[in-house]
C-alpha cells in the first residue's frame, strides 16, 4: 500500500493510537479497563430514582432455546446486549464475550449462518457499498495494525460478514460496525482456537 493509502486508512479507522498499544502490555491494561467498563452495572440512581445500567451489560444464556444441538459447537450473537456466547460441541465449555455490533438496523443481518473459514492476520477490502458511501477509503488494507479486522477473523457463510478482532478497543460494547461483529483481539484469538469450520452461528 502507498504511504498516502496508509495515512488515509489511519485517519478513517482511527487505529494509530490503539495499534501502538495493541502489541504491548499497555494494550492489556487498556482492554482490561474497557472490559471492566463494559461489564459494570452503574448503581447510581437518576433524579427519577431509576437505576441506570450500562448499555452493554449482559447475562449468561442457555443454548437450548436457540439451537437444536451443539454439533461442531455453537455461537450466539445477541446484538441487543452486544455479547457473543460460545458453547463447545460437548457442552462442557461456555464462554461469553463483549462485542461491537452493526451501527444501524439497516446494516444488521440476523438469522442463522456458519463459520466457513478462519484466518490469522486477515486482510480487508471494503465492500462496494462501503466504497460508495466512503470514496476516500482505501480499496485494500493488508494485515497489520491498520487493519479493521484485527488479528483474527472468522468468515461466515453470508458474503462480507465476519466475526473478527479490532485494534480500536473503543468500539467494543457499542453500535459501531458496518455489519460485522467485533471482539477484543485477545478474545477473538481465544474464540478462534475454540471454533471450527462448520460451527453454527445465530445472530439475534
CB 192 within 8 A of CB 119: no
- Please tell me which residue in 85, 152, 167, 180 is annotated as part of the active site: 180
- Cα 204 to Cα 111: distance, rounded to the nearest angstrom: 6
Q: Which residues contact 101 (CB under 8 A, 6 or more apart)?
A: 77, 79, 82, 108, 174, 175, 176, 177, 181
Asked about 152 being catalytic, the answer comes back as no
CA dist 131 → 78, 135, 137, 148, 178 (Å): 28, 5, 6, 15, 12
CA dist 23 → 29, 71, 114 (Å): 11, 35, 30
Please state, as a whole number, how many other Cβ atoms lie within 10 Å of the Cβ of residue 181. 24
How is residue 20 annotated by DSSP? H
Query: Quick one: cell of 195?
Result: 471454533
CA dist 73 → 38, 69, 93, 191 (Å): 26, 8, 10, 11
- Please tell me which residue in 152, 164, 167, 187 is annotated as part of the active site: 164
Asked about 164 being catalytic, the answer comes back as yes
Active site residues: 164, 180
Amino acid at each position: 500500500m502507498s504511504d498516502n493509502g496508509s495515512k488515509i486508512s489511519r485517519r478513517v479507522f482511527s487505529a494509530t493510537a490503539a495499534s501502538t498499544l495493541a502489541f504491548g502490555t499497555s494494550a492489556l491494561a487498556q482492554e482490561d479497563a474497557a472490559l471492566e467498563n463494559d461489564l459494570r452495572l452503574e448503581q447510581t440512581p437518576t433524579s427519577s430514582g431509576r437505576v441506570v445500567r450500562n448499555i452493554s451489560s449482559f447475562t449468561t444464556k442457555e443454548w437450548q432455546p436457540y439451537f437444536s444441538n451443539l454439533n461442531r459447537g455453537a455461537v450466539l450473537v445477541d446484538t441487543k446486549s452486544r455479547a457473543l456466547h460460545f458453547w463447545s460441541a460437548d457442552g462442557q465449555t461456555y464462554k461469553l464475550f463483549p462485542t461491537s455490533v452493526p451501527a444501524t438496523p439497516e446494516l444488521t443481518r440476523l438469522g442463522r449462518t456458519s463459520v466457513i473459514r478462519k484466518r490469522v492476520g486477515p486482510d480487508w477490502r471494503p465492500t462496494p457499498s462501503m466504497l460508495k458511501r466512503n470514496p476516500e477509503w482505501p480499496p485494500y488494507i493488508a494485515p497489520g495494525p491498520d487493519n479493521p479486522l484485527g488479528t483474527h477473523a472468522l468468515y461466515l457463510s453470508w458474503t462480507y460478514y465476519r466475526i473478527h478482532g479490532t485494534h480500536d478497543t473503543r468500539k467494543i460494547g457499542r453500535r459501531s460496525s458496518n455489519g460485522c461483529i467485533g471482539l477484543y483481539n485477545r478474545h477473538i484469538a481465544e474464540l478462534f482456537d475454540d471454533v471450527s469450520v462448520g460451527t453454527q452461528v445465530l445472530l439475534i
